[in-house]
Amino acid sequence: MCGCRCLLVLLSEVSAAEQNRKKRPRQNRFMEPGAHLKSLLQLQLSSDASAVRYLPHCLSSLTAESVLPSSQLTKWTTRIYALLHSKESGGRWAGLCLAYKTSLLSQNVMIDCAQSWMGVALPLLSVREMDFAT
């Protein structure tokens, strides 16, 4: 049940981010391949806490052009994998959202990373939330 609710929330957030992305001008097509990923990795995803804080920006700024093969793409997918293994639940959520958005934008990346990402994501989605209310 929790997994379904998490997926619905994720889909609504990605949909909202996609609508915001459509309102902004497209990235500079003359930008070096991987430059956008490099910027996100250095500034917004440098720590688990900053990944949580800047997740909406990261999701809304990603485009299919962002995840074209480049030297930064391996670093990007490695960072997502690291976020999925974060000690903090917010970091894991950020990793899950970024993995989902990246997979939507690039079928090749999805095929290359699906096994490792899903191996971590499925157990995360199947964990029941603990109710601390008394």
Give me the residue spans of the domains in the chain.
43-61+73-126
pLDDT, mean over the chain: 83
Question: Which pLDDT does position 125 carry in this prediction?
Answer: 83
**Residue 30 pLDDT greater than 60, yes or no:** no
Environment class of 125 (CB within 10 Å of its CB; exposed 0-12, middle 13-18, buried 19+): middle
Mean pLDDT over 101-108 rounds to 95
pLDDT at residue 126 in the model = 84
The larger pLDDT score, comparing residue 133 to residue 121, is at 121
Task: Name the H helices within the chain.
Answer: 2-23, 35-39, 48-53, 55-61, 71-84, 89-105, 107-126
What is the pLDDT, as a whole number, of residue 33? Answer: 77
Rounded average pLDDT over 98-104? 96
Residue 24 has pLDDT above 60, yes or no: no
Query: DSSP character for 16?
Result: H
| pLDDT value of position 12 | 63
pLDDT value at 52 more than 80: yes
Tokens of 32: 């070096």
Residue 13 has a pLDDT of: 64
Closest CA to 87 of 51, 119, 35, 57: 51
The better pLDDT of the pair 23, 79 is held by: 79
Task: Give 98: exposed, middle or buried? Use CB within 10 Å, 0-12, 13-18, 19+.
Answer: buried
At which residue do the structure tokens 């500079």 appear? 28
pLDDT at position 25: 45
